Amino acid sequence: MSGSILGYARPPPYEGSHVSDRLRLMCVHAHPDDESSKGAATMAKYVDEGHDVLVVSCTGGERGDVLNPRLKHDAHILRDLAQVRRDEMAEAQAILGVQHTWLGFVDSGLPEGDPLPPLPEGCFALEPLSVTTEALVREIRRFRPHVVTTYDENGGYPHPDHIMCHDVSMAAVVAAGDPEAFPHAGPAWQPLKVYYNQTFSKARVEAFHQALTALGEESPYAEWLENWTRPDRAVTTRVECSAWFDRRDAALVAHATQVDPDGSFFRVPREVQVQVWPTEDYEAALSFVPIAPDEDDLFAGLPADVQAADALATSGTLTIVHDTRTERDS
């Protein structure tokens, strides 16, 4: 079905086995809306440059809270949040121009309280890793990505679905290239590079805080910085994508239940963002090709010829040359 939303052309539907003559990027996320706050401008950039980009949403976000104060009491949303979030995802997909698939698991929710309540039975975070891994292996072998992005071992932040997203992504990347693993899930395919999203770094927040202060405006980030405890991560790759910040923001706004349009995500004027932090940032976690210093392209180091890249991914003779995978913090 063709059409457009907010002036952006809707991409063709993702159906069946996918074979393309373009380099392919798969971005694995926990919930709908995560793709629009982590790497969205990068995805739009690559789509416009002619690459295939697939977003995999592991869950439907069914247990998410309504974070937009204007919509907290909307009867339609309260009646069927799951469908509303699917509709929001379709709109964001059209804006970014990406392909999309649901992995089919159920949102775990974010437990709160002291002590924390148990996670709900049947949720994504409690599924056996073998089950979630097989589901993602099927998608990897169908779409055949050369590059995969996901979250670091701590989930980027400690939401149980983000942590499971990391676990299933890394397990599936390894299993997808092993012909003896899940042989019924399609021919083996080895993604050549895996990155962690590292957009929310202290350095970036500090840069925005200082920029707002220099403009004489109140910064919403002062308290964030005072309470910042997350250790710095090694950023290996900065993708300049400021020309696509408008698409990123439009996609995020499309997830209307999940973002306050007057909130901190939008406090820094776009022209200021372009000046002080025009990139989206990544940490190379696993690669079968060398990672160059100051890398600026997720496809860097891959053969420019897609057939050659495909041959490399199916060669069965690859050796890991970059590996920074670590155990999760206790």
Tell me if 95 sits within 8 A of 8, measured CB to CB: yes
Q: What per-residue confidence (pLDDT) applies to 8?
A: 52
- What is the structure's pLDDT at 16? 42
Q: Which residue ranges form the domains of the chain, and what is each CATH number?
A: 18-200+235-270+278-288 (3.40.50.10320)
Cis peptide before 115 (omega within 30 of 0): yes
Q: Which residues of the chain have pLDDT under 70?
A: 1-20, 330
How far is CA 4 from each of CA 94, 96, 99, 322, rounded to the nearest angstrom? Answer: 7, 11, 14, 41
For residue 322, give Cα distances in angstroms to 21, 170, 231, 236.
26, 14, 21, 11
Q: What local confidence, expressed as pLDDT, does residue 330 receive?
A: 64
pLDDT at position 236: 98
162 appears as a binding residue in the annotation: yes
Beta strand residue intervals within 11-157, DSSP E: 24-29, 52-59, 99-105, 147-150
Give the pLDDT of residue 18: 46
Annotation-wise, does 146 bind a ligand? no
Q: Does the annotation place 184 within a ligand binding site?
A: no
CA distance 169 to 145: 13
Asked whether the beta carbons of 54 and 101 are under 8 A apart, the reply is yes
SS3 287: strand
In this predicted structure, what is the pLDDT of residue 5?
Answer: 39
Q: In this predicted structure, what is the pLDDT of residue 10?
A: 42
